[in-house]
Structure 1
């Protein structure tokens, strides 16, 4: 079983930019970026826009961990 979590905050810290700056760069509302980071909603178009703006792959927006099934 895979556990997938957003990695946006650590990417923003690494790049030295804020959600607001990313919002201004991408045109994605800051509230949508916040929801993305809370893992409550991910729109496909936003994933690609965010990844391009940060210069990373879409898969880099998430951390993936394998969990043992019980």
Structure 2
């Protein structure tokens, strides 16, 4: 089983962007970015748009670890 934790906040800060700036750059509403920063929920289209705006892979928006069953 995998444990998946959002890492969007780290990627966003590494890019030097606020949530509002990332929203403008990606076309994803700031509220959706805020929700994603707090949980692993997000639509595929928004995840792809965010990854493209940050010039990273979608997978890099998560911390993926093997978890004990």
TM-score (norm 2): 0.92
Unaligned runs of 5+ in 1: none
Match in the other structure for 1:56: 56
Unaligned runs of 5+ in 2: none
The number of aligned residues is: 69
Change (3 A) 1:57 1:26: same
TM-score (norm 1): 0.91
Q: Please give the alpha-carbon distance, in whole angstroms, between the structure 2 residues aligned to 1:40 and 1:67.
A: 16
CA offsets 1:4-49 (integer angstroms, 9 cap, x no match):
0110111111111111100011121100001111115210100110
| RMSD between superposed Cα atoms in Å | 1.1
Could you say which structure has the larger radius of gyration?
Answer: 1
Q: Please give the alpha-carbon distance, in whole angstroms, between the structure 1 residues aligned to 2:45 and 2:14.
A: 23
Moved over 6 A (4+): none
